[in-house]
Amino acid sequence: MDFENNFLSGGIPSSKSDLSQLTSLHLSKNNLSRELPPSMMNCTRLITLDLGENKFSGSIPKWIGENLTSLMFLILRSNMFMGNIPPQLSLLSKLQVLDLSQNNLSGKIPESFGNFSAMAIANKTKEYIFTSWRFFRLESIWVLWKGSLYEYSSTISLVININLSGNDLHGEIPKGITHLFGLQSLNLSKNHLTGIIPEDISDIRWLESLDLSWNRLSGMIPHTLSYITSLNHLNLSYNNFSGRIPSGRQLDTINNSSIYTGNPLLCGPPLLKQCPGDETDCGSQLVLGGEGVEDELVIQLLLISMAPGFVVGFWVVCGILLFKRSWRLAYYHFFDDMGNQLHVTLARKVANFKKNEG
Ligand SMILES: *[C@@H]1O[C@H](CO)[C@@H](O)[C@H](O)[C@H]1NC(C)=O
Ligand SMILES: *[C@@H]1O[C@H](CO)[C@@H](O)[C@H](O)[C@H]1NC(C)=O
Ligand SMILES: *[C@@H]1O[C@H](CO)[C@@H](O)[C@H](O)[C@H]1NC(C)=O
Ligand SMILES: *[C@@H]1O[C@H](CO)[C@@H](O)[C@H](O)[C@H]1NC(C)=O
Ligand SMILES: *[C@@H]1O[C@H](CO)[C@@H](O)[C@H](O)[C@H]1NC(C)=O
Ligand SMILES: *[C@@H]1O[C@H](CO)[C@@H](O)[C@H](O)[C@H]1NC(C)=O
């Protein structure tokens, strides 16, 4: 059922008709309002529920998690939903796309968010894609991806995405979120989240896009971020992070200072602000941490200790030759003699050899 992009207004009718076979409901980009009617509880076979860009209000009902257990795509973006996010949402064991962005949701991100089991699967099997293909051929949804909205259709079954941006969420990022190994995009931007980025964030191996900008997160930026080899979009701007910006591996490929701005306590490249003790290059290498850095340090120390050795050795020999005439003469004579001797010896050997052959 697709009524996307129209001028529908009013609420969703709480009809007594049987919609229990409905698999796909698109009502996005209308002018719909009011709360979601309990009659929708009966749509237990819904795979897609897209109500984005309307004026729905009230809280997100618990029964979405408890009853609509087939849901794979839940899009409530840009509405006026308020109150807490119900922890029951994590009962949706098939959910892959959760977009609750730009509402008026408050409270904490439920700890249970680590329990979305379909998001904890890294690589879907071909079989899975094939069996669901008939459905997804006809399905399409709009997903915010690296800052722009894209329409996904037949490949939608491969997208795994959480977007809670633009709400009024408080508290910490739940640690459980790092169990969602298959997550490709996480957007928690424009909330009031506090605390740190969990160190285990690198467990989300397939993460491509992480937007935590405009929160109140603090602490050091974990260097484990550099281990996420698929990460190519990161934004940590306008928080309260402190200390040196980690570098190395994947982070060196996202070398853009705008992703760190608005964190007055951050220092080091790509920001222009130097960290304390950065004047000597050697010091900056020491604090960095991570593998490979130690090797680099050893090489640097080796070079540093070689340089004076070379200078001293060079001047001991050349300085003396330059300033002491008699030594200089002796030195050149020595090599001259050695050259002559070598030449004579060689000539003799060759002559002997020829004689023997003859
Ligand atoms: C769900 O559907 C059944 C009939 O299939 C109906 O009796 C019941 O009232 C419906 N529930 C709601 C909340 O509309
Ligand atoms: C968001 O909710 C607060 C109360 O929780 C209310 O005062 C405010 O007007 C709401 N904002 C919008 C845009 O609905
Ligand atoms: C996550 O699921 C497991 C089992 O499925 C359950 O024991 C645990 O309480 C759940 N965690 C949360 C925070 O709901
Ligand atoms: C995250 O969400 C915010 C607000 O909804 C949006 O402006 C931003 O572009 C999104 N970031 C990414 C990487 O999609
Ligand atoms: C930022 O973090 C520091 C500690 O790292 C803390 O002392 C300070 O109060 C925080 N500032 C804000 C505005 O939260
Ligand atoms: C990061 O977010 C800030 C603030 O929203 C924005 O100005 C900047 O362009 C973003 N950087 C990237 C690389 O998206």
Residue ID of nearest Cα to ligand 3 atom 13: 112
Average pLDDT over every residue of 117-122: 82
Domain count, the chain: 3
Question: Does the structure show a pLDDT above 50 at 282?
Answer: no
- Which bound ligand lies closest to the C-alpha atom of 65? 3
**What is the rounded CA–CA span in Å between residue 309 and residue 344?**
37
Question: Does the structure show a pLDDT above 80 at 155?
Answer: no
Task: Say if 23 falls within a structural domain.
Answer: yes
Question: Does the structure show a pLDDT above 90 at 56?
Answer: yes
Residues 32 and 120 in one domain: yes
Name the pLDDT band for 151 (thresholds 50, 70, 90). confident
Task: Say if 228 falls within a structural domain.
Answer: no
* pLDDT recorded at residue 283: 43
Question: Does the structure show a pLDDT above 80 at 292?
Answer: no
Residues 329 and 297 in one domain: no
Q: Ligand 2: does its nearest atom lie under 6 Å from the Cβ of 306?
A: no
Q: Ligand 2: does its nearest atom lie under 6 Å from the Cβ of 258?
A: no
Task: Say if 230 falls within a structural domain.
Answer: no
Name the pLDDT band for 88 (thresholds 50, 70, 90). very high
Q: Ligand 6: does its nearest atom lie under 6 Å from the Cβ of 191?
A: no
Handedness of CA 124, 127, 130, 131 (dihedral sign): negative
**What is the rounded CA–CA span in Å between residue 169 and residue 192?**
6
Residues 61 and 176 in one domain: yes
Phi-psi region of 58 (alpha: psi -120 to 50; beta: other; left: phi over 0): left
Would you tell me how many other CB atoms lie within 10 Å of the CB of residue 62?
Answer: 13
In the reported structure, the alpha carbon of residue 90 is separated from the centroid of ligand 3 by a whole-number distance in angstroms of 9
* pLDDT recorded at residue 264: 92
* pLDDT recorded at residue 301: 58
Residues 38 and 181 in one domain: yes
Task: Say if 140 falls within a structural domain.
Answer: yes
Extract the runs of DSSP E, i.e. beta strands, from the chain. 9-10, 24-26, 31-34, 48-50, 55-58, 73-75, 80-84, 97-99, 104-108, 141-145, 148-152, 161-163, 168-170, 185-187, 209-211, 218-219, 233-235, 240-244, 265-267
* pLDDT recorded at residue 6: 87
Average pLDDT over every residue of 322-344: 63
Residues 62 and 166 in one domain: yes
Residues 334 and 306 in one domain: no
Task: Say if 58 falls within a structural domain.
Answer: yes
Name the pLDDT band for 285 (thresholds 50, 70, 90). very low
Question: What's at 70, amino acid-wise?
Answer: S
Residues 122 and 66 in one domain: yes
Host H or E run for residue 284: helix 281-288
Task: Say if 344 falls within a structural domain.
Answer: yes
* pLDDT recorded at residue 111: 92
Q: Ligand 6: does its nearest atom lie under 6 Å from the Cβ of 213?
A: yes
Question: Does the structure show a pLDDT above 70 at 224?
Answer: yes
Task: Say if 268 falls within a structural domain.
Answer: no
Domain of residue 302: give its range. 277-312
In the reported structure, the alpha carbon of residue 187 is separated from the centroid of ligand 4 by a whole-number distance in angstroms of 6
Task: Say if 304 falls within a structural domain.
Answer: yes
Residue to probe by mutation, ligand 3, list 93, 112, 177, most atoms within 8 Å of CB: 112
Atom of ligand 1 nearest to the CA of 14: 14
- Chain segment 184-218, per-residue pLDDT in tens: 999 999 999 999 999 999 999 889 999 999 999 99
* pLDDT recorded at residue 52: 92
φ and ψ of 111, to 5 deg: -60, -30
Residues 67 and 211 in one domain: yes
Nearest to 173 by CA among 208, 206, 222: 222
pTM of the model: 0.76
Residues 202 and 331 in one domain: no
Please list the residues that pair with 175 across neighbouring strands: none
Question: Does the structure show a pLDDT above 50 at 289?
Answer: no
